[in-house]
Structure 1
């Protein structure tokens, strides 16, 4: 594996690009052009999911890249995720194959359990992606939780590796306790944990545990509130990018606040997946490997921790989907 700071090594020796493009909330009509632009700029890592509802558009962009010879499939890292309605072992493979078909790929570099949330199955022909509601047309629509043991879901995920559909498997939005439980019975250990992580939610203990267990960590929502203000899940005054500590360090380095936050994420040993729809920001977000933050600056950013989680099913589940479903204590 390359020793470049542009990569984080996974447990199997894979070269996991340290900065990827997150595709959540990027419109489908933008992605077929955005993906080739990102590859031209230097991106090789694309973070996708069934629930984002845009994997077909990502697939169109990837096809353009591969057809043009801009890079080979082996140069790309594509992640997708198992949605909450497909946790039963009977549905895991079909869900993975649907994502592969939409993305136009034969194999995923990484497949993650999106949430430790198990919801009633919704057939593809009824609704895809199914979202959080069981019956969105009901008078008072809600989620429909069901009980599926994590061990059963993980066993089916392991089967995907054996079938050659995915190279690696991992988890999202898991706590240390859930990870420990999973490790106790997993034949294939999780190689990656993806969680919300930014200076207002540093998750130091979780990060340390994963690093000691050789589980690579991907930080989603690295800019904190930015993605959540339009969803009424964060306030305008909660922007990490406007924090005086961040802007002060940015001024000292002649960098943008976003670059400082991304540099902090990579320098502490995580992969990060900022999203953007513009070429200018694609370039800016990738231009973080030609400077370093001092130990004092890293400590100052660590010290911003508020335990502020923006993506919390206990909060948005009740507010938007009429269902209280906590996964974090």
Structure 2
């Protein structure tokens, strides 16, 4: 199989690229390299282009034809909640515009399989402690809105021209499958704390007064290597005729608060982590935990690593690359 991975030089994408390579697939990476690094993807072909620009269509058409692409895994997108609140038009242009360009190119080339990188941000601030895929999808920030629209677009393409798509709603992704593929973007909690520790600074926590047991946000943390395995399972699922669902939560099914994560970081690093607790950040729901029964029963996927594994692998990669 030949698989094109958009955003494949980034943190999550590079893990999927490596797993695909390990099982003998041909991989083409499309990435603007704004956050990704070409060195992450080994001998994969790299096409440097921003999917939201006019240059994307001819670049994709050439890649599809040259490499006989059978399927696409789509990661390329902007992903910071706070930035999306401050720059909503930019997020719609990048995330929805990039998705539109990709789907048009796939339709033209006859590439009919897509695994889409969606997000738990599509749920917004759910009332239930654990969220199911068939529950309300009411995003409360532009980032989540663009991801939900991406799901709609993939589903509409299925109706219009037969696209087979799987939308994976990620919960909080962290850790490293290999030391050279650690999260270097410093956009998520664990690398943000590591950066503060390296600088001798106090890490910042946004919100200590949420309606949760310790006042901090609760999130479902999934190891990036487990998440990468979910993409391969979804890709394989698209080749089957029985596909009762097109949307899947990818998480551990258990929640950890920000303060609990900081405690694990203290234990793993041996460094005291006393945070500076500030006001809540716009667009953050108090709690997001996945119901993972659908992906387990349909794709046969489940997590293999816990929060200690996540923090331990993230710290090992961080020390290797700093």
Fold agreement, TM-score > 0.5? no
TM-score by length of 1: 0.32
Comparing both structures, which one devotes a greater share of its residues to strand?
2
